[in-house]
Amino acid sequence: MTTRPGSRVDSAAAHPSAASDPHGHRPVLLGEIVELLAPTSGESVVDLTAGRGGHAVALGASVGAAGLLTLFDRDPANLDYARARVSAMPAAPRIQSVHADFRSVALMMPSGTPPANAVLADLGFASTQVDDPSRGLAFSHDGPLDMRLDPTRGETAAQLVARMDERELADIIFHYGEDPFARRIARNIAQTRARVPISTTGQLASLVQESYGARAAASRLHPATRTFMALRIAVNDELGALEGLVAAVRDAALAAASGSPTWLAAGARVAIMSFHSLEDRIVKRAFAQMIEAGWAESLTRKPVEASPTEVGANPRARSAKLRAIRLVR
C-alpha cells in the first residue's frame, strides 16, 4: 500500500485486524500512520496515547523483538490493557509503560530510553472510555459527572461545573463546544446548581436539552453533544496538554538541529492525529514553525483524512486529521 501525503486510503482494508473490534476501539487511519511513521526493525517507538493498543500492536510488529516500544497513557487501565495486548504478540518488542500526561514526555521518558525514531499521538478518548458509564463521558448513559481521562487525579466535571462562574462556563461551552446556546446553557446550569448539585451525566444532559427548548427537536446532534465535548476538553485541559506536547517536540527538534542529545533521534518521525479543529490548529502551527525554522520537513502536504469506507465502518474517524513531520537531523 502506498500513501501519498494528503491522500485517502482504506485502513481497514490495509490492516484487516482493524476491521474486527475485539478490543473495543478501532484504531483510526492505522495503515496511514504505520506508513508515515515507517518504523523499522530494532527502532525505538513511542506511542503517547496507547489506548486499547490498536496502533501500538502495528507499531510493535514493525519494530519486532529487537525494538523498543514506550507506551504512555493518562488512563492507567488503558495503559495496562495496551501493554498486555502488545506483550502477547509473537516477537513482541521490549515494552515500557508510563502513566503520565504526554505534555511531560521529555521528563517522563524512562532513563536509558534510546532517542525515539517514531512518535504517535492519537488524541482524545477511546471508545471504551466513553462506553463506560462510570467515566461520565457520555450523555447517553447515566453516571457520575466525572469525565477525567485519568481517574486517579484532578477535578471532575461535577466539581468544575460547581466551581466555575456562569461566564466561564459559557465561554468554555462556546469556544470548545461551539454551541450557539452556550450562554443559555450556562445560565441554566447556574440556576440549577443554586438549588441542587449537578452530579450526574443524566442531570446535565436534560438540563442542556431544556436550554435548547423547542430547538432541540430540530437539532441534528443531541443537544448535549457540544456541552459534553466542551466540558471534557476543559476537565482534561486537552488543549494545554497538546500545547505542552508540541512544545516538547519543538524543543527536541531545536536540540537535535544543534546536535544536542534529546528524546527524539535524528530523523525522527512524529505523527499527531486530532479530532477537533482547535487541536488541529495547534498541531498545524507548531509543525509549520518547525518546518520554517529548517528543523523538520512535512510528511503530509495536507492533513490525511479517513476514506469513506473507514468512516462508514467507524464514524469516529470522520473528523480525524493526521499530520506528520520528520526531523531533518
Interface with ligand SAM (CB under 6 A): 25, 27, 48-49, 51-55, 72-75, 78, 101-102, 122, 124-126, 149, 241
Name the strand (E) or helix (H) holding 268: strand 264-274
Q: Which residues contact 194 (CB under 8 A, 6 or more apart)?
A: none
Task: Dump the DSSP string for 281-312.
Answer: HHHHHHHHHHHHTTSEEES-SS-B---HHHHH
**Grid cell digits, residue 282:** 495547534
Roughly how many angstroms between the first and final C-alpha of the chain, as a whole number? Answer: 27
CA distance 228 to 235: 10
User: Closer to ligand SAM at the Cβ: 224 or 241?
Assistant: 241
Phi, psi of 42 (to 5 degrees): 85, -5
We find the least distance from the C-beta atom of residue 86 to ligand SAM, in angstroms, to be 11
111 burial (CB, 10 Å; 0-12 / 13-18 / 19+) is exposed
User: Closer to ligand SAM at the Cβ: 52 or 323?
Assistant: 52
Which residue is closest to ligand SAM by CB? 51
Q: DSSP letter at 317?
A: G
We find the least distance from the C-beta atom of residue 300 to ligand SAM, in angstroms, to be 18
User: Closer to ligand SAM at the Cβ: 35 or 75?
Assistant: 75
We find the least distance from the C-beta atom of residue 244 to ligand SAM, in angstroms, to be 8
User: Closer to ligand SAM at the Cβ: 54 or 93?
Assistant: 54
We find the least distance from the C-beta atom of residue 150 to ligand SAM, in angstroms, to be 7
We find the least distance from the C-beta atom of residue 102 to ligand SAM, in angstroms, to be 4
Question: How many Cβ atoms are within 10 Å of 77's Cβ, its own excluded?
Answer: 13
User: Closer to ligand SAM at the Cβ: 147 or 325?
Assistant: 147
Name the strand (E) or helix (H) holding 248: helix 238-257
We find the least distance from the C-beta atom of residue 215 to ligand SAM, in angstroms, to be 31
User: Closer to ligand SAM at the Cβ: 34 or 208?
Assistant: 34
